[in-house]
Amino acid sequence: MGMLVWTMMGLAVWHFTVFLPDHFWGGIVGAFLAAMFGAIIVGLAIHGFSVPGNSDTSVLTAVEGVPGALIGLGLCYAEGLRRERKDGVAVTDATGRPA
């Protein structure tokens, strides 16, 4: 049950990437995968790489997925920017100005 909760929290955080410029490595799908895997990996690490069952799942279990999703999204965004700059793609901010 904990795995489902972490996955749903990763999905919830991923929805907010619509407000960011699309510089994610792999685009929006890459951001989705980064949020999912980040939430799951950090959730597993917090629980000693075991998945909490139905009776061990609480609101705190949901909150544990948020930092992982943010870390995953941050790494995916940084890698996307790095690759764009390396390939010579013009990097712009949300208003279209050079970043």
Are 10 and 39 within 8 A, CB to CB? yes
Please give the average per-residue pLDDT across 12-22, as a whole number. Answer: 93
Task: Provide the pLDDT for residue 99.
Answer: 65
Report CA-CA distances (Å) from 64 to 43, 71, 81, 91. 6, 12, 27, 33
pTM: 0.86
pLDDT (tens digit per residue) in 37-82? 999 999 999 999 999 998 989 999 999 999 999 999 999 999 999 9
Question: Where do the domains of the chain lie?
Answer: 2-16+23-87
Whether pLDDT at 94 is above 80:
no
Q: Give the residue-averaged pLDDT of 13-23.
A: 92
Tokens at 10, concatenated: 């990763």
> What DSSP letter does each residue of 5-36 carry, written as one string?
HHHHHHHHHHGGGGGS-S--TTHHHHHHHHHH
Rounded-to-integer distance, Cα 98 and Cα 28, Å: 21
